[in-house]
Amino acid sequence: MRLDLAPRGRILAARIGEHLSRFRGRGMEFDESRVYQPGDDQRNMDWRVTARAGTPHVKLFREERERPVWLLVDQGASMRFGTRVAFKSVIAAEAAALLGWAAVDRADRVGGLVFDEARHLERRPATRTAGLLPLLERLTEPAAAGERGHGSLAQAAAHLTRLVRPGSLVAVISDFAGVRPDARRWLAELTAGGELLLIMVHDPLEAAAPTPGRYPVTDGRRRGIMDLTGARNRNAYEERFAVRAQTLERLARLHRGHLLHLATNEPVGPALARGLRARSEPGAKSPFIRK
């Protein structure tokens, strides 16, 4: 399994890496040959084309550039839920790790923001593993006393918009609980001049109501009973999730982002690989959009 993080647009970063830029120079990737002009470096003479054409030609190269990759990983209260295999927060952490290592493998600079309501850790993109490893370490640690976090995904994203530069890849990994149609501002700023991945993590129980009954529920502080005995309540339960998925789908289209879905009961790696391949398949439909 290999995750396809090849850029879908122009790369504007200035460091050397594995992505082809539009700047021409002495890089590692041959671009084309053209007729020699006064001032050209004679070390770049293309002798084969020169011999065939009868006029001097030189080789042109396209430089390879790094791309900053930002991972915005939600570990908030709604992510600490799961009925199949793992919590959503664990799936998000695994997805972040796989994306991060795939970016490192491409010689990209990786950084990001891991947050919940009590803590956050921010790292600017750095080469090799300098930016990635602190993020992965924080994903495995409990919160420390006195730390401050972000109360919502919107707050964390708004903070990140001040750091992201054009040409970046930003991957937002969350269940997007509470996402609103007016989340346009931070989405527009995150995707400006770069590429945006929206990775929605969900549990199967969120999309389809369980068998009819009355279920005890808690958010860790309060307790209550969820009544799913009647058809109206069951329909409303499923409609809430469908509306969330539809809202996210519309926002992704509006801001030219790519939406992926990860379920807690499915292997993360293959699902990520399929979703990333679909970036080159226009018109892909969300599995949660009702016709």
Domain spans in the chain, listed from the N-terminal domain onward: 16-65, 68-280
Return d(Cα 131, Cα 129) in angstroms, integer.
6
- Kindly report the backbone phi and psi dihedral angles of residue 170, in degrees, each rounded to the nearest multiple of 5, phi listed first: -115, 125
Return d(Cα 25, Cα 94) in angstroms, integer.
38
Residues across the chain:
291
3-state helix, strand, coil split of the chain in percent (to 5) is 35, 25, 40
Low-confidence residues of the chain: pLDDT under 50: 9-28, 63-64, 145-146, 290-291
Query: Is 260:275 a contact under the CB 8 Å cutoff?
Result: yes
Q: What are the tens digits of pLDDT across the range 230-257?
A: 999 999 999 999 999 999 999 999 888 9
Query: Is 97:135 a contact under the CB 8 Å cutoff?
Result: no
Query: Is 218:225 a contact under the CB 8 Å cutoff?
Result: no
* CATH 3.40.50.410 fits domain 68-280: yes
Query: Is 148:175 a contact under the CB 8 Å cutoff?
Result: no
Return d(Cα 198, Cα 62) in angstroms, integer.
31
Give the model's pLDDT for residue 11: 36
Q: What are the tens digits of pLDDT across the range 75-125?
A: 998 999 999 889 999 999 999 999 999 999 988 999 999 999 888 899 999
Return d(Cα 248, Cα 244) in angstroms, integer.
6
Return d(Cα 254, Cα 86) in angstroms, integer.
32
Token pair 């539009």 is found at: 22
